[in-house]
Amino acid sequence: MNASINVLLFGITRDITGQTAIQHPLAPHARVSDLLIQLHGQYPRLADIRALLVAVNGEYAEPDTKLKSTDEVALIPPVSGG
Protein backbone atom coordinates (compact mmCIF):
# COMPACT_ATOMS: atom_id res chain seq x y z
CA MET A 1 0.00 0.00 0.00
CA ASN A 2 1.50 3.31 -1.13
CA ALA A 3 1.23 6.44 0.99
CA SER A 4 -0.31 9.54 -0.57
CA ILE A 5 -0.78 13.14 0.42
CA ASN A 6 -3.63 15.57 -0.13
CA VAL A 7 -2.65 18.75 -1.98
CA LEU A 8 -5.07 21.69 -2.00
CA LEU A 9 -4.98 23.97 -5.02
CA PHE A 10 -5.78 27.67 -5.17
CA GLY A 11 -5.80 30.53 -7.64
CA ILE A 12 -4.06 29.82 -10.91
CA THR A 13 -3.03 26.31 -9.79
CA ARG A 14 -6.73 25.37 -9.96
CA ASP A 15 -6.88 26.58 -13.55
CA ILE A 16 -3.69 24.74 -14.49
CA THR A 17 -4.71 21.41 -12.95
CA GLY A 18 -8.45 21.72 -13.49
CA GLN A 19 -8.94 20.55 -9.91
CA THR A 20 -9.30 22.04 -6.41
CA ALA A 21 -7.30 19.25 -4.74
CA ILE A 22 -5.25 16.26 -5.80
CA GLN A 23 -4.09 13.07 -4.07
CA HIS A 24 -0.41 12.62 -4.81
CA PRO A 25 1.80 9.58 -4.08
CA LEU A 26 4.19 10.27 -1.22
CA ALA A 27 7.65 8.69 -1.29
CA PRO A 28 9.22 7.91 2.10
CA HIS A 29 11.14 10.89 3.58
CA ALA A 30 9.77 13.17 0.86
CA ARG A 31 10.24 16.91 1.37
CA VAL A 32 8.33 19.88 0.01
CA SER A 33 10.91 20.32 -2.77
CA ASP A 34 10.46 16.68 -3.87
CA LEU A 35 6.72 17.10 -4.11
CA LEU A 36 7.09 20.30 -6.13
CA ILE A 37 9.45 18.64 -8.60
CA GLN A 38 6.96 15.82 -9.14
CA LEU A 39 4.05 18.22 -9.56
CA HIS A 40 6.06 20.31 -12.03
CA GLY A 41 6.64 17.11 -14.02
CA GLN A 42 2.94 16.33 -14.00
CA TYR A 43 1.75 19.90 -14.64
CA PRO A 44 4.55 21.74 -16.47
CA ARG A 45 2.62 25.05 -16.46
CA LEU A 46 3.10 25.23 -12.68
CA ALA A 47 6.69 26.22 -13.48
CA ASP A 48 5.39 29.42 -15.11
CA ILE A 49 4.22 30.78 -11.76
CA ARG A 50 6.82 33.27 -10.69
CA ALA A 51 6.73 32.48 -6.97
CA LEU A 52 4.87 29.35 -6.05
CA LEU A 53 4.91 28.73 -2.30
CA VAL A 54 3.77 25.69 -0.37
CA ALA A 55 1.88 25.61 2.91
CA VAL A 56 1.89 22.61 5.21
CA ASN A 57 -0.91 22.41 7.75
CA GLY A 58 -1.80 26.04 7.16
CA GLU A 59 1.70 27.49 7.56
CA TYR A 60 4.17 28.60 4.92
CA ALA A 61 6.77 25.81 4.58
CA GLU A 62 10.40 25.73 3.48
CA PRO A 63 11.59 23.53 0.56
CA ASP A 64 13.28 21.14 3.01
CA THR A 65 10.22 20.65 5.23
CA LYS A 66 9.52 16.91 5.56
CA LEU A 67 6.09 15.63 4.60
CA LYS A 68 3.92 12.91 6.07
CA SER A 69 0.72 11.53 4.62
CA THR A 70 -1.50 13.17 7.25
CA ASP A 71 -0.25 16.67 6.37
CA GLU A 72 -2.54 19.12 4.63
CA VAL A 73 -0.44 20.57 1.82
CA ALA A 74 -1.51 23.58 -0.24
CA LEU A 75 -0.02 25.26 -3.29
CA ILE A 76 0.06 29.02 -2.74
CA PRO A 77 0.55 31.05 -5.93
CA PRO A 78 1.15 34.81 -5.52
CA VAL A 79 -1.68 36.17 -3.37
CA SER A 80 -3.89 39.02 -4.51
CA GLY A 81 -6.28 39.73 -1.67
CA GLY A 82 -7.11 43.10 -0.17
Partner 1 sequence: MISLTSNPIDIASAYKYLQADGAGAIDLFLGVVRDNTQARPVDRLEYEAYDRMALSEMKKIADEACRRWNILKFVVIHRTGLLRIGEMAVLIGVSTPHRADAFDATRYIIDTIKQTVPIWKKEVFTDGEIRVNATP
Interface residue list for partner 1 (CB under 8 A)? 8, 10-12, 15, 55, 58-60, 74, 76-82
Please report how close the Cβ of residue 2 comes to partner 1 at its closest, in angstroms. 27
Nearer to partner 1 (CB atom), residue 59 or residue 64: 59
Please report how close the Cβ of residue 7 comes to partner 1 at its closest, in angstroms. 12
How many alpha carbons fall within 13 Å on the CB side of residue 71? 27
> Alpha-carbon distance 24 to 74, whole Å?
12
Please report how close the Cβ of residue 54 comes to partner 1 at its closest, in angstroms. 11
- Burial pattern 1-13, b for ≥16 Cβ within 10 A else e, equals eeeebebbbeebb
